[in-house]
Amino acid sequence: MSGILFLCIHNAGRSQMAAGFARELSNGDVVILSGGSEPAATVNPVAVDVMNEIGIDISTYVPQKFNDDLLNAVDVVVTMGCGDTCPYIPGKRYVDWPLDDPKGKSIEDVRRIRDEIKAHVTDLLAQL
């Protein structure tokens, strides 16, 4: 079974939304994990709200720091704005999505980011 690890700095917005979409759109056929280099205490409430608008609940997920176990469990690592703090392991497929951080953004901006993430996730899943 293929696996994807979504990484961003706080594991509170972009990576959580991406993981939510991937879980929903892959129908359980792909292992989906997420993490951050500096995890926040909770998932961004605006990200939770905009995902709830489309029927995906990410409210129960807890931001976590990425580790070797997460990295070794997947084939693809998707980075979103973590720059040099994102890990690199030879042999893994890496994809970088240049997305705005939803932290502190309006709900309209976070909806736009959500929709960009959905398009990226849909394309990635089609490639697997």
Q: Which residues are designated catalytic? A: 8, 82, 86
Burial class (CB in 10 A: 0-12, 13-18, 19+), 68: exposed
Whole-number CA gyration radius for the chain:
13
77: closest CA among 95, 91, 89, 90? 95
Mapped onto helix, strand or coil, the DSSP state of residue 51 is helix
Report the greatest alpha carbon distance in the chain: 38
* Sequence-distant (≥ 6) Cβ neighbours of residue 69 within 8 angstroms: none
